[in-house]
């Protein structure tokens, strides 16, 4: 298969050029170039076992397609995705999303769970992409459940919202397997010989079919012949081998009970959708199996399940539609109020000189652009009206009206969360206003992303601290010095080290009850990270004020995340320092409200409220 087009979707060209789309499982990886919305060309299936990692896999595909410039890519992957580092569960691959993005010179690379992508694809499936197995009509605007046995057992769901659906991230395939009859109990006992914990995925999957075959063969006294799941399926469907057919019957029954559990857990009146590579291959047997009977066998809730339809997804590339939708939404800036303005800043180098003038007008005069017609926008930017349209399409929008709709939602409130570059031609008034606006906007964004539980954890450590030491280097030393000054006022022994040799020596003599506050703009300085490791080994706790996904942030006992991006290698860090100082202030106010701290202050003849201006009288 080299091309696929969904006729339900309009043909809308992608102004940023073709997008690289992939569905990467543990066994096979499917790739395509999306050249217009829902139009996939050069679809290829590659065996994952032939490649040592994701980079050579992508290189292999790109070497077989036309030499086109790809700026945006999105991959569905059969694995949980949490942060930048990915360690695949069913394949010995590990990689950094950011490193892969840079390797291929991509502007955007999204990695999402494969069943999140599958769930996002459901609204775009056509009637001939699915086959209904029992049940009635789905209830409109209701929860939808998704599952799919393949190399593993994926689980997800769609939750209805006012303007569509949101996906449910889940690892539901790893719940305990529950047998429903004596035969399944014997299969479970057989599995217990290999694993102490037997999840549903161990049996309701490709490897599970192989395990069921071995178990049933042993029970029936047949030779212990190892067959692959593919061979078992082929023999069941074509050769009508009795044992293989029984294996598929047991598999379908287990799948029916698991699907029913998912339906009642989610209240999935919108239906249950079954994806994955196994069920479409056994469809003739599946339709005649005990699947639907087991799906409805829920005692008092049998009638509830009887009305819920089950659909088998028969199209070969359902995840492509979901990945495409997720990437499109990301490029439109739906991930956050400041996404669109940030996106405009980021694509400036890629725009033509005329398009850059439109971008500058949007960034400097957002309300004007929102309120004016295309002719006036073109006049103010000194460009043609088609240039305004091209600018909108470079961001993934169909035109100006589509752009304005999203742009309006990003400008709610009195202060848009954005960054305005100071120009050499700016007056003192303008540069002052921009510096203040940039800082205020960053603070508002920081406030919305603040992790309260992390602050509570940090405060609990500080309230019990015997001693607090601050480790920082470079520009961050000013923040550490401010923290030492404030915390010493609470009569807590404090120290501040800005030299790598000194704070390494200091970390070695710490002990339980001591706390290190390590401040770093990047969270990557080897000296800071090493000192934090030594402090933890000594029994002390480490509070990191650093980016969440940095080495220091991941290592620390608790991370107070400052994820504001600044080019520290080229420019002096400014806004990050303000955010770090705010965290110090939050901790100081939190300590001052603690009864123990207040008592210490009172004994010294001072009143805690005089020390902290944020507190009332």
Q: What is the pLDDT of residues 338-347, one digit of tens each?
A: 457 777 877 7
- According to the model, what pLDDT value does residue 198 have? 92
- State the helix-helix crossing angle for 353-364 and 374-381, rounded to 10 degrees: 110
DSSP 40-100: EEEEEEEEGGG-SSHHHHHHHHHTTS------EEEEEESS---SSEEE-SSSS-EEEHHHH
- State the pLDDT confidence band at 602, using cuts at 50, 70 and 90: very low
- State the pLDDT confidence band at 604, using cuts at 50, 70 and 90: very low
- State the helix-helix crossing angle for 385-394 and 374-381, rounded to 10 degrees: 90
Residue 428 pLDDT greater than 90, yes or no: no
CB contact at 8 A, 71 and 106: yes
Average pLDDT over residues 116-138: 87
Residue 337 pLDDT greater than 60, yes or no: no
- Element (H or E) spanning 164, and its range? strand 164-168
Nearest to 57 by CA among 89, 88, 22: 22
Taking the C-alpha atoms of residue 553 and residue 574, their distance in angstroms, rounded to an integer, is 20
Enter the tokens of residue 145. 């459940």
- State the pLDDT confidence band at 439, using cuts at 50, 70 and 90: confident
- Element (H or E) spanning 420, and its range? none
Taking the C-alpha atoms of residue 361 and residue 359, their distance in angstroms, rounded to an integer, is 5
Q: What is the pTM assigned to this prediction?
A: 0.53
Enter the tokens of residue 468. 């607090």
Average pLDDT over residues 195-200: 92
- According to the model, what pLDDT value does residue 420 have? 53
Taking the C-alpha atoms of residue 280 and residue 277, their distance in angstroms, rounded to an integer, is 6
- State the pLDDT confidence band at 33, using cuts at 50, 70 and 90: very high
Nearest to 547 by CA among 516, 525, 571: 525
Q: What is the pLDDT of residues 536-546, one digit of tens each?
A: 999 999 999 99
Burial 180-208 (b: 16+ CB within 10 A, else e): eeebbeebbebbeeeeeebbbbbbbbbbb
Q: What is the pLDDT of residues 253-294, one digit of tens each?
A: 999 999 999 999 999 999 999 988 899 999 989 999 999 999
- State the pLDDT confidence band at 45, using cuts at 50, 70 and 90: very high
Round to the nearest angstrom and report the end-to-end CA distance of the chain: 74
Q: How far is CA 51 from CA 31, 84, 319, in A?
A: 15, 21, 22
Q: How far is CA 222 from CA 193, 209, 219, 238, in A?
A: 19, 17, 8, 21
Residue 209 pLDDT greater than 90, yes or no: yes
> How does the average pLDDT of the chain come out, rounded?
83
Taking the C-alpha atoms of residue 265 and residue 147, their distance in angstroms, rounded to an integer, is 13
Query: Cα-flanking dihedrals φ and ψ of residue 350, to 5°?
Result: -90, -10
- State the pLDDT confidence band at 421, using cuts at 50, 70 and 90: low
Residue 523 pLDDT greater than 50, yes or no: yes
Nearest to 403 by CA among 487, 344, 467: 344
- According to the model, what pLDDT value does residue 6 have? 56
- State the helix-helix crossing angle for 575-592 and 477-488, rounded to 10 degrees: 10
């Amino acid at each position: 298969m080299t091309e696929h087009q969904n006729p339900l979707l309009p043909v809308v060209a992608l102004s940023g050029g073709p997008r690289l789309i992939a569905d990467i499982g543990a066994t096979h990886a499917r790739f395509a170039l999306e050249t217009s919305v829902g139009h996939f060309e050069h679809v290829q299936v590659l065996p994952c076992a032939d490649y040592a990692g994701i980079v050579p896999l992508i290189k292999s595909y790109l070497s077989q397609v036309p030499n086109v410039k790809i700026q945006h890519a999105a991959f569905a992957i059969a694995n949980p995705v949490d942060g930048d580092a990915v360690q695949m569960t069913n394949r010995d691959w590990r990689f950094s999303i950011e490193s892969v993005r840079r390797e291929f010179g991509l502007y955007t690379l999204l990695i999402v769970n494969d069943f999140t992508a599958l769930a996002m694809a459901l609204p775009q499936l056509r009637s001939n992409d699915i086959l209904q197995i029992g049940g009635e009509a789905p209830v409109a605007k209701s929860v939808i459940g998704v599952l799919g046995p393949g190399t593993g057992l994926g689980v997800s769901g769609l939750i209805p919202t006012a303007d569509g659906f949101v996906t449910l991230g889940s690892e539901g395939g790893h719940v305990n397997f529950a047998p429903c009859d004596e035969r399944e109990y014997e299969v479970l006992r057989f599995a217990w010989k290999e694993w102490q914990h037997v999840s549903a995925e161990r049996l309701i999957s490709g490897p599970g079919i192989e395990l069921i075959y071995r178990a049933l063969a042993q029970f029936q006294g047949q030779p212990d012949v190892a067959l692959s799941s593919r061979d078992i399926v082929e023999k069941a469907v074509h050769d009508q081998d009795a044992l293989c057919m029984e294996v598929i019957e047991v598999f379908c029954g287990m799948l029916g009970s698991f699907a029913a559990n998912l339906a009642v857990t989610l209240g999935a009146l919108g239906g249950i959708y079954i994806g994955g590579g196994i069920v479409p291959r056994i469809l003739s047997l599946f339709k005649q199996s005990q699947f639907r009977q087991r799906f409805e066998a829920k005692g008092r809730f049998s009638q509830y399940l009887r009305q819920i339809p089950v659909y088998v997804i028969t199209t070969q590339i359902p995840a492509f539609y979901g990945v495409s939708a997720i990437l499109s939404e990301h490029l439109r800036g739906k991930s956050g109020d400041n996404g669109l303005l940030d996106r405009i800043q980021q694509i400036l180098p890629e725009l033509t000189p005329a398009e850059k003038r439109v971008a500058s007008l949007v960034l400097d005069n957002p309300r004007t652009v929102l309120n004016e017609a295309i002719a006036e926008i073109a006049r103010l930017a000194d460009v043609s009206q088609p240039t305004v349209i091209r600018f909108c399409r470079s961001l993934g929008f169909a035109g100006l009206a589509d752009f304005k709709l999203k742009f309006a939602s990003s400008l709610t409130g009195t202060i848009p969360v954005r960054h305005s570059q100071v120009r050499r031609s700016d007056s003192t008034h303008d540069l002052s206003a921009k510096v203040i606006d940039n800082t205020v906007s960053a603070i508002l964004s920081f406030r919305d992303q603040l992790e309260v539980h992390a602050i509570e954890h940090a405060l609990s450590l500080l309230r019990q601290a015997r001693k607090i030491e601050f480790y920082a280097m470079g520009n961050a030393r000013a923040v550490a010095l401010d923290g030492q000054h404030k915390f010493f006022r609470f009569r807590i022994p404090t120290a501040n080290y800005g030299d790598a040799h000194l704070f390494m020596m200091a970390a070695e003599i710490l002990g339980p009850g001591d706390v290190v506050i390590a401040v770093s703009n990047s969270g990557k300085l080897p000296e800071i990270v090493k000192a934090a490791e030594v402090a933890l080994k000594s029994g002390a706790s480490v509070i990191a004020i650093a980016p969440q996904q940095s080495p220091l942030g991941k290592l620390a006992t608790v991370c107070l995340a400052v994820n504001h991006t600044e080019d520290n290698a080229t420019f002096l860090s400014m806004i990050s320092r303000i955010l770090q100082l705010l965290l110090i202030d939050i901790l100081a106010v939190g300590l001052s409200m603690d009864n123990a701290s207040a008592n210490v202050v009172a004994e010294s003849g001072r009143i805690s409220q005089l020390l902290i201006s944020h507190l009332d009288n």
